[in-house]
């Protein structure tokens, strides 16, 4: 693979949805799709890895909806962004992955209500596709970074093409923490 294509482009910045300290020694970026069953499994792996690594890990999620096989993925990503505009991206992120089989518009509205969003604002944002551009920016970032499927991971900006079970991914992240500064 081209050395430039296996690097995260653009790098993580304030525009990204992040969990964990910005000065964590390792950053894990996932390009994901809320309707992708593999991403659904990865969601639980990431939760466990976050629990194991604590403040040593910063996790970033970028949207990569594969609409050709996941018809609800784009709208689910927009719902996450609409929730993010109200300060509840991660609550919606988790709810969407925990309810992957129900991502139709009425379910998205119910999730917005459940997590305490201003429902009128959420529905208006969804109706006008207020966050389509934001989702497309993430998707374009994925294309520029060589992403062609989900989930795709990057560790400290370098593409990670190895198994992502808890043990293997945690070992890779710990190895990056322990590696000498480059």
pLDDT tens string 85-119 = 999 999 999 999 999 999 999 999 999 999 999 99
State the average pLDDT over residues 124-133: 98
| Topology annotation, domain 17-168 | Glutaredoxin (3.40.30)
- Domain borders along the chain are 17-168
Structure letter (DSSP) for residue 7: B
And the tokens for 108? 């998205």
Alpha helices by DSSP H, listed for the chain, are: 37-53, 73-85, 89-98, 105-114, 119-127, 132-144, 166-178
State the average pLDDT over residues 142-167: 97
60 φψ region: left (φ > 0), alpha (ψ -120 to 50), beta (else): beta
């Amino acid at each position: 693979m081209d050395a430039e294509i296996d690097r995260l482009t653009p790098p993580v910045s304030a525009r990204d949805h992040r969990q964990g300290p910005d000065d964590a020694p390792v950053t894990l970026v996932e390009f994901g799709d809320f309707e992708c069953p593999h991403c659904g499994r990865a969601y639980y792996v990431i939760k466990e890895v976050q629990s194991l690594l604590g403040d040593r890990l910063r996790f970033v999620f970028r949207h990569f909806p594969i609409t050709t096989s996941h018809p609800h993925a784009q709208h689910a990503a927009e719902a996450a962004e609409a929730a993010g505009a109200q300060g509840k991206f991660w609550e919606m992120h988790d709810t969407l992955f925990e309810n992957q089989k129900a991502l139709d518009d009425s379910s998205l509205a119910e999730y917005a209500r459940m997590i305490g969003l201003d429902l009128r604002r959420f529905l208006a944002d969804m109706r006008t596709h207020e966050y389509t551009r934001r989702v497309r920016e993430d998707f374009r970032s994925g294309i520029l970074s060589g992403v062609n499927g989900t989930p795709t991971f990057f560790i400290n900006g370098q593409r990670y093409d190895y198994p992502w079970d808890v043990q293997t991914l945690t070992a890779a992240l710990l190895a990056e923490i322990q590696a000498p500064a480059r």
